[in-house]
């Protein structure tokens, strides 16, 4: 497993990362531990969680994923050998994350509370990479990189980026977090964080966790150059289009236990033009004799701006299959064919 430097830090992380958002909902604790064991055995050292998880978010299960991850580290005694990433919620009207039932914001008080709670659930005294799950400002769409701009109104109580970064600096100084990252952020937001860090001498963001896949290459429009020139590498999530790029939902199929079957909340991958684009990539994979899932993962992993690709699985079989992407090479001919499809279909699933 290739190890890649996380931003400008001294951390080197595996080119594949295990995402854990199904732990505590679709996966039991025992199943989650089995996945973590298997990932570690294959050389994965980066594990990604969030205070929001598991998905779908609800107050009854919130934080359970971090608890499962924490129990695993305690049982295995391996905290020093793994890199733990987790996230704080951004602006949200949901009131179950904070004491007093207040809406979520990226303020000093709320970030301090969020970190302390995550540390307790993870049963550790430090978090390697602490990420802002999404911005504390109104944006056009979740993910902050739309293909259609909708003029979101600025919230009256928007937390300034400098205030959020200052709060994170305090948590770094206290030793509670080592490095910071962004998620679902735009080029503008990313550069504002970098500029503020340079101007005031605050911690520098090391990574950005955004959606990136064959049907969502919006990252390339502005963030790719930032990632390369500013050393803010992509932690790519949803590279399988929440399962659509595996082919399991093709022709309206609803497999038992699949996320769409259970929760029907995959609207990002059901927009106009999405089905045609997805079918085109599935056809290409079949034509070149590569599993569609492995093709999608290998493509994301091969990008120069990618630090790590986050894998999400609900079974050991899925995880083992996804790990097979390490044996897939995106050569010049295959990349040209992928880019040809992209020219025709674009990014229908931002």
pLDDT by 10s per residue, the chain, length 350:
999 999 999 999 999 999 999 999 999 999 999 999 999 999 999 999 999 999 999 999 999 999 999 999 999 999 999 999 999 999 999 999 999 999 999 999 999 999 999 999 999 999 999 999 999 999 998 898 999 999 999 999 999 999 999 999 999 999 999 999 999 999 999 999 999 999 989 999 999 999 999 999 999 999 999 999 999 999 999 999 999 999 999 989 999 989 899 998 889 999 999 999 999 999 999 999 999 999 999 999 999 999 999 999 999 999 999 999 999 999 999 999 999 999 999 999 99
At residue 182, the pLDDT reads 98
Q: Which residues pair with 13 in a beta bridge?
A: 4
Indicate the domain borders of the chain: 3-243+301-328
* pLDDT value at residue 266: 83
Taking Cα atoms as reference points, which of 127, 126, 94, 98 lies closest to residue 111?
98
Q: Has 53 been annotated as catalytic? A: yes
Cis peptide before 86 (omega within 30 of 0): no
Residues 6+ apart with CB under 8 A from 61: 24, 25, 54
pLDDT at site 56: 96
- Tokens standing for 163? 């205030």
**Over 81-147, what HEC string results?**
HCEEEEEECCCECCCCCCCCCCCECCCHHHHHHHHHHHHHHHCCCCEEEEEECCCCCCCCCCCCCCC
Q: Contact 16/83 with Cβ under 8 angstroms?
A: no
> Which residue carries 């602490």 as its tokens?
130
251-308 pLDDT tens trace: 899 999 898 999 988 899 999 999 999 999 999 999 999 999 999 999 999 999 999 9
∠ CA(9), CA(15), CA(21), 5° rounding?
Answer: 95
279 and 250 Cβ atoms separated by less than 8 Å = yes
Q: Which CATH superfamily is domain 3-243+301-328 in?
A: NADP-dependent oxidoreductase domain (3.20.20.100)
pLDDT of the residue at 28: 98
Phi (first) and psi of residue 166, to 5 degrees: -65, -40
pLDDT tens column, 168-212: 999 999 999 999 999 999 999 999 999 999 998 999 999 999 999
pLDDT, residue 283, reads: 98
**Are 205 and 190 a contacting pair, CB within 8 Å?**
yes
Tokens of 224: 């790719």
Which alpha helices (DSSP H) does 264-325 contain, by range? Answer: 274-288, 292-301, 316-323
Catalytic choice (53, 130, 193, 244) = 53
């Amino acid at each position: 497993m290739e190890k890649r430097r996380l931003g400008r830090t001294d951390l080197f992380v595996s080119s594949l990362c295990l995402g854990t958002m199904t732990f505590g909902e679709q996966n039991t604790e025992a199943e989650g531990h089995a996945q973590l064991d298997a990932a570690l055995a294959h050389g994965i050292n980066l594990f990604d969680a969030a205070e929001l998880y598991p998905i779908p978010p609800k107050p009854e299960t919130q934080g359970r994923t971090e608890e499962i991850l924490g129990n695993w580290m305690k049982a295995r005694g391996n905290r020093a050998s793994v890199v733990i990433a987790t996230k704080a919620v951004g602006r949200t009207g949901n009131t179950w994350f904070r004491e007093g039932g207040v809406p979520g914001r990226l303020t000093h008080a709320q970030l301090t509370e969020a970190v302390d709670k995550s540390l307790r659930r993870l049963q550790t005294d430090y978090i390697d990479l602490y990420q802002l799950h999404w911005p504390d400002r109104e944006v056009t769409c979740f993910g902050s990189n739309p293909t259609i701009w909708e003029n979101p109104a600025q919230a009256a109580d928007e937390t300034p980026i400098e205030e959020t970064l200052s709060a994170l600096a305090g948590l770094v100084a206290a030793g509670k977090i080592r490095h910071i990252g962004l998620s679902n952020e735009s080029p503008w937001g990313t550069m504002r964080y970098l500029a503020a860090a340079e101007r005031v001498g605050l911690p520098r963001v090391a990574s950005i966790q955004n959606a990136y896949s064959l049907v969502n290459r919006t990252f390339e429009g502005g963030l790719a150059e930032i990632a390369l020139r500013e050393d803010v590498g992509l932690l790519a999530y949803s590279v399988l289009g929440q399962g659509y790029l595996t082919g399991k939902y093709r022709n309206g199929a609803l497999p038992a236990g699949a996320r769409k079957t259970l929760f029907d909340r995959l609207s990002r991958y059901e927009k106009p033009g999405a089905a045609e684009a997805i079918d085109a990539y599935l056809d290409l994979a079949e034509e070149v004799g590569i599993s569609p899932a492995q093709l999608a993962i290998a493509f994301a992993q091969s990008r120069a701006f990618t630090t790590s690709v986050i894998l999400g699985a609900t079974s050991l079989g899925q995880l083992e299959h996804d790990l097979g992407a390490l044996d897939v090479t995106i050569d010049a001919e295959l990349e040209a064919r992928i880019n040809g499809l992209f020219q025709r279909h674009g990014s229908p699933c931002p």
